[in-house]
Chains A and B, each alone.
Chain A
Amino acid sequence: MRHRPRGENIIRFDSVGLRYGLGPEVLQDVTFALPSGSFHFLTGPSGAGKSSLLRLMYLGLRPTRGRVVLFDRDIATTKRYELPALRRRIGVVFQDFRLLDHMTALDNVALPLRVRGVRESEIRKHVPELLSWVGLADHLGAKPSTLSGGQKQRVAIARAVIGRPDLLLADEPTGNVDDHIAMRLMYLFEELNKLGTTIVVATHNESLVSRFAHLPRIHIEHGMVTTLRHVPPEEME
């Protein structure tokens, strides 16, 4: 892992704006910075712009204005062929999982490693291990269509973390699972965070956020970041 020293900014947005085509700005003057090793909630009502903000963070979109700096690289001036190397340092759990239906759970999780050219022997060693860790040891050869919503979500999370990313972005990762599994997933994220991964979890599940009230949150509403609150450790329960 190439985790940075805690405290340095891993990502910074300066007056970032985003619009789709000629439509209105869905994000306006978004300015914030995430220190390395931090764990943030990204909250806000549906349609507030959480997914758009995440897409900008995982380089699925380019901002229409403003400046995005990721791993000390200004995205506007980074060459296109250099972007895959940055993307490989980011793990993403998509809201709709985006698993490849024609592949087994194992192949789905192995995908980021194959893209990087990791040897098959390594893949065969690490991927089953991780799937066992997320409780899917009995579903290694299952296709996504035969898995439940919760199981798919865990496969998606395994795929996001298999490459041991510096930054993990999760879009509503607990949206399709019961409270028990939601808590397990959050504990998994916390474990990853302890290992140095910077984590952003987008959710509109207020009860989940309140259970982890010690975590800072970026609140977004009507395309604007309205609150960036960090609860210092001494204020935690």
Chain B
Amino acid sequence: MIFSRRHSDLPLRGDATSRFLPWLVGLMVFLAAMAVAGVFVINNVMERWDHDVSGTLTVQVIPAGGDQADAVTEERVLLAVDVMRKVPGVVSVTAFDKKRTLALLQPWLGNTEVVQDMPLPRLIDVTVKSDARIDLTEVAERLSHAVPGASLDDHRVWLSRLINLSRTIQWLAIVVVVLIGMVTSATVVYATRTGMAVHYGIIEVLHLIGAHDDYVARQFADRAFALGVAGGLIGLGLAVPALTAIGWAAKRLEGGFLPSISLPLSGYIAIGLLPLLAAGLAMLTARLTVHGTLSRMP
């Protein structure tokens, strides 16, 4: 074929950029996929925490001292159960015996034999109606007056701290994604400028025969888009097995250290869109870079 294809005015395919840019974009997409997955997983976990603890209260009874410690503690637990059952909106009240309390500690301590004889606080699990409006401060005061050593925990304090920490991590992940985008853009700017310097002679000829800046910019943008898509797919190809492996490893973790880690469907969609976003960013950056550089030509 004597006539070549339309977009061959600039021989960009042979440039060094064509070799390194896809790998670099691939790495960036891989890192972005990890960060995006982190954002969605944390969000998912936070929602589950919130769902799991809302509608539940925990009463903690400090064990009594003295010769009749166990009997007194048991009596206080029964008293606390009685107080809580009288609170309007409470659905169920379940006191945990020592054996069950030790079972709760097992994931953290391993062998619980060493703490068998230690004075462990007794826990009472209280379930309330989801729409119940309970004045927790008043209930806590009533409980502490009625039962020595009893306290009410509605999980909000530690949950809010945990959520704060999670949100901070989420923001950090978002900042990481933004930084990755900036680094990708900077790389494309450098690659485009290098390409323009290499092909300056051709660009000048196109300019002098009446090509608009966008005619040249479009060719660089199209090339950057193609390289961005290629790089994005490389990154996605690396990220999918990595995320699968992390998910598999997380599932193998026994005990309650970590809540179940899973990526929601929206997370998969966001990660699936990353190659297109990277390619779009590369295309836009290349186009703007060419326009900026050509604007200095007469």
Binding site for B on A (CB under 8 A): 58-62, 80-81, 83-85, 87-88, 92, 98, 100, 102-104, 106-107, 110-112, 114-116, 120, 123-124, 140-141, 159, 163
Is the pair A60, B208 in contact by a Cβ cutoff of 8 Å? yes
A210 to B215, CA, bound (A): 43
Of the A-B pairs whose beta carbons lie under 8 Å apart in the complex, a sample of 18, sorted by A's number, is A59-B208, A62-B298, A80-B295, A84-B210, A85-B210, A92-B209, A102-B8, A103-B8, A103-B9, A104-B3, A106-B2, A106-B3, A107-B3, A107-B4, A111-B206, A115-B206, A115-B215, A159-B209
Tell me whether B205 is interfacial, beta carbon within 8 Å: yes
With A60-B298, A80-B295, A111-B9 already in contact, the answer to whether A87 and B208 are too (CB < 8 A) is: yes
Nearest to A116 among chain B residues (CB) is B210
Contact of B202 among A100, A140, A163 (CB under 8 A): A100
A159 to nearest B CB, angstroms? 8
Nearest to A97 among chain B residues (CB) is B205
Is the pair A115, B211 in contact by a Cβ cutoff of 8 Å? yes
* Residues in B neighbouring A163, C-beta threshold 8 A: 209-210
Contact of B205 among A80, A98, A116 (CB under 8 A): A98
Contact of B298 among A61, A85, A111, A112 (CB under 8 A): A61
A98 to B208, CA, bound (A): 11
Tell me whether B6 is interfacial, beta carbon within 8 Å: yes
Tell me whether B201 is interfacial, beta carbon within 8 Å: yes
Is the pair A98, B201 in contact by a Cβ cutoff of 8 Å? yes
Residue picked from B2, B201, B211, most chain A C-beta under 10 Å: B2
Nearest to B4 among chain A residues (CB) is A107
7 residue pairs, one from A and one from B, having the closest CB atoms: A88-B210, A87-B210, A141-B2, A102-B11, A115-B211, A84-B210, A112-B209
Tell me whether B129 is interfacial, beta carbon within 8 Å: no
Tell me whether B156 is interfacial, beta carbon within 8 Å: no
Is the pair A58, B8 in contact by a Cβ cutoff of 8 Å? no
Tell me whether B145 is interfacial, beta carbon within 8 Å: no
* Residues in A neighbouring B211, C-beta threshold 8 A: 84, 115
Contact bitstring B1-29, A, C-beta under 8 A = 1, else 0: 01110101101000000000000000000
Is the pair B212, A124 in contact by a Cβ cutoff of 8 Å? no
Is the pair B209, A88 in contact by a Cβ cutoff of 8 Å? yes
Please provide the chain B residues from 54 to 112 with a CB less than 8 Å away from any CB of chain A in the complex: none
Is the pair A81, B298 in contact by a Cβ cutoff of 8 Å? no
B220 to nearest A CB, angstroms? 16
A207 to nearest B CB, angstroms? 30
* Residues in B neighbouring A100, C-beta threshold 8 A: 9, 202, 205
Is the pair B201, A114 in contact by a Cβ cutoff of 8 Å? no
A62 to B298, CA, bound (A): 6
* Residues in A neighbouring B202, C-beta threshold 8 A: 100
* Residues in A neighbouring B2, C-beta threshold 8 A: 104, 106-107, 140-141
Nearest to B6 among chain A residues (CB) is A114
* Residues in B neighbouring A120, C-beta threshold 8 A: 3
A60-B208, A115-B210, A116-B210 known; 5 new pairs, CB 8 Å cut-off, are A60-B298, A87-B209, A98-B201, A106-B3, A107-B3
A159 to B209, CA, bound (A): 9
With A59-B298, A98-B205, A100-B9 already in contact, the answer to whether A81 and B212 are too (CB < 8 A) is: yes
Is the pair A103, B4 in contact by a Cβ cutoff of 8 Å? yes
Contact bitstring B193-227, A, C-beta under 8 A = 1, else 0: 00000000110111111111001000000000000
* Residues in B neighbouring A103, C-beta threshold 8 A: 4, 8-9
* Residues in B neighbouring A124, C-beta threshold 8 A: 3
B225 to nearest A CB, angstroms? 20
Is the pair A84, B212 in contact by a Cβ cutoff of 8 Å? yes
Is the pair B201, A112 in contact by a Cβ cutoff of 8 Å? no
A103 to B201, CA, bound (A): 14
A120 to B1, CA, bound (A): 14
* Residues in B neighbouring A159, C-beta threshold 8 A: 209
Nearest to B2 among chain A residues (CB) is A141
A124 to B6, CA, bound (A): 13
Contact of B209 among A81, A104, A115 (CB under 8 A): A115
* Residues in A neighbouring B207, C-beta threshold 8 A: 87
Residue picked from B8, B210, B211, most chain A C-beta under 10 Å: B210
A110 to B4, CA, bound (A): 11
Is the pair B208, A58 in contact by a Cβ cutoff of 8 Å? yes
Is the pair B210, A112 in contact by a Cβ cutoff of 8 Å? yes
A195 to B212, CA, bound (A): 28
* Residues in B neighbouring A83, C-beta threshold 8 A: 298
